[in-house]
A and B are shown apart, each in its own frame.
Chain A
Amino acid sequence: MTSKSKRKLTEGLFLTPTVLAFLVVQIIPFIYGIYYSFTDWTGTGAATKMVGLENYIKIFQDKGFLHSFLITLEFTILNVIAVNVIAFLISLLVTSEIRGRNIYRAGFFVPNLIGGIVLGSIWQFIFSSILPSIGQALNIAGLSKSLITNTNTVMFTMVTVNTWQYAGYIMLIFVAAIQGIPKSVLEAAEVDGAPYWRRIRSIQIPLMANSFTISLFLTLTNSFKMYDVNVALTNGGPTGLWSKTIVNSSELLALNIYNTAFKYNKMAQGQAKAVIFFLVLVVFSVIQVSWNKSKEVEM
């Protein structure tokens, strides 16, 4: 064997495991997934037949899905705002002149180490037992019952848990960005007498623009895909009335997709919902890419 063909062989072998796994785990199921969404697939090996757009028509007539879609958007918007605002404020605190900055930075990140299933269970206890007990003791009507079984407050509980989990991570990104700002720039502003908030608004924030884009899209896609905390904290409940239909008032899209397939045994419809879910995420990334491109031009 010539050294050139030997070299080609090595390189081919180096690519084999990842290409194989990519095909088997992502590409083939993806193609199957698109195909199944146009069939009457039941998840078993039984023969499937094409049904055209029937699944898509059905899911758009499904009030539960529409409701789920809307509350997922609501959750995403609320969560993106809450996570970024809180993470930004914490990042300012832990980069200020306070003592023990490093301990705080490490501590605020801890919730991010732990999975949504465990966190969701802990917070379920807090919202259903601890807070109502405090509410009763202090005679606060809004707090004296479980916040999870109330259709008006259940969204608040999910945003709280996710913000608590995620803010520490976004804080780290902001802290890295703040540390990347040349000290001389901030000192010059300080010597010129620019007050604290002015320095943050006119110097720090514009110089952190890149990290805001990163955190915005990270939180956007992560909120939209939220699943674990949803399962462990509320599991979609409680049931509520929306548009004259009974719906699960906190069932976000990822959970709705799962339940459609496995709880209600509508595999093909669940798959069609997943395709829609995928398309929305594609739109998010197209926006992100074009946003980044437009930034590059400015610079």
Chain B
Amino acid sequence: MQAEHVHHEHPIERMAGSKPHPGRRLALEIVTFILFILFMMPFLIVVLNSMRTNAEIINQPVGWPENAGNLFANIKSVWENPTFNFLNALRDSVIITVLSLAIISICSAMAAWVLVRNKTKWSNFLFMMYVAAMVIPFQVVMFPLVTWFRDLGNFLHFPMLRSYQGIIFAYLGFGEAMSIFIFHGFIKGVPLELEEAADIDGCTRAGTFFRIVLPLLQPVFVTVLVLNGLWIWNDYLLPLLLLGAGGEIRTIPLAVQGFIGSFVKQWHLIMVSTLLAMLPIIILYIFAQKYIVQGMVDGSIK
């Protein structure tokens, strides 16, 4: 109250309020900068310690690298390490993430479109099931999923465990509910006239979807791809259960966890393995930052 009074008595100062306040701005900038450095510190620690030898780290955990060139030697030994096998892990992570994303986004968009355009008892029921399923935590289905996938694979002579198809199908099952929900909300706002015009022109139902509707969904595709992409890329538990810790197919999180388990306390190598594991997503972020941020924000609000 006191402060307000003072301000009312100084009309000139009131006007100054809309201009940037240099002292306050500098103070805020310093606070933000310090906080930012603190936030970035773990990454700095990874980079610096990737350049050191194990002896250096054990003797003096906090310190500058004596010879930054050690980075290449460290990377070489991690890169060539058969337990880590980074290139294979990268390949498997890319295959699983890209195929899962393509299948989740297309299939969920198709389903959401049918559910929006067909207002029947059944489509409402199905939609409510998807919404309700979003509450189901992975933990309550994960044990039966493993035995049931094994039995199903044996029955169909089509392996569902330790195979690309099994985990990609599982990602469709776990990712579709949220994706359908997001597409559903967007398609409700797409005017029907365009589709009716296509119908009259003799376009088939599938043609209407792929030629007219799908291109309109572009903005919401970003959201679905980003939300599912970050989750699948970084997921640990589902690959652990469906691919196994020492299996042929290994994603990056599995490879990192396996590597760390067998190189306990070899911090220079562990730091390099985390550095390699982080690089792909950080590089992607540098190029697609706008879309990733937009996708995360839109996804949380929906």
Residues of A near any B CB (own CB < 8 A): 6-7, 10-11, 14-15, 17-19, 21-22, 24-30, 32-33, 36, 43-45, 90, 93-94, 96-100, 104-119, 121-123, 125-126, 129-130, 132-134, 137, 164, 168-169, 172-173, 176, 187, 190-191, 193-196, 198, 211, 214-215, 218, 225, 227-228, 231-232, 254, 257-258, 261, 267, 270-271, 274-275, 277-278, 281-282, 285
Contacts and interface: CB of A to CB of B under 8 A. Distances in A.
A80 B294 CA distance: 23
B8 interface: yes
Interface stretch (B84-92, B133-141, B185-193): B133-141
B144 A32 contact: yes
Interface of B is mostly: helix
A29 B141 contact: yes
The 10 lowest CB-CB distance pairs between A and B, nearest first, are A25-B173, A115-B234, A193-B7, A32-B144, A29-B141, A21-B173, A133-B61, A14-B110, A10-B205, A29-B144
Contacts of A21: 107, 169, 172-173, 176
B95 interface: no
B291 interface: no
A111 to B, nearest CB: 7
A99 B29 CA distance: 7
A115 B253 contact: yes
A125 B271 contact: yes
Given A36-B144, A98-B28, A191 B301 contact: no
Contact of A30 (B61, B108, B140): B140
A93 to B, nearest CB: 5
Contacts of B146: 43
B249 interface: no
Contacts of A254: 139
Contacts of B170: 25
A182 B8 CA distance: 24
A108 B296 CA distance: 14
B143 A271 contact: yes
A26 B42 contact: no
Given A122-B45, A218-B300, A267-B143, A116 B234 contact: yes
A270 B274 CA distance: 31
Nearest to B290: A106
B114 A43 contact: no
B130 A22 contact: yes
A45 B147 CA distance: 8
22 contacts: A10-B204, A11-B114, A14-B111, A18-B108, A18-B110, A21-B172, A26-B141, A29-B141, A29-B145, A98-B32, A110-B43, A116-B234, A125-B271, A172-B297, A173-B297, A173-B300, A193-B4, A225-B137, A258-B237, A277-B140, A278-B135, A278-B137
A248 B217 CA distance: 48
A69 B20 CA distance: 50
A104 B35 CA distance: 10
A176 B301 contact: yes
B173 A228 contact: no
Contacts of A195: 3-4, 7
Contacts of B164: none
A96 B28 CA distance: 8
Contacts of A114: 234, 277-278, 281-282
Contacts of B281: 113-114
B293 A109 contact: yes
B31 interface: yes
A126 to B, nearest CB: 6
A121 B256 contact: yes
B287 interface: no
A6 B282 contact: no
Contacts of A104: 32, 36
A93 B49 contact: no
A277 B173 contact: no
A18 B172 contact: yes
A10 B117 CA distance: 13
Interface string B129-171: 1100101111111111111100110000000000000000110
Contact of A282 (B40, B135, B176, B278): B135
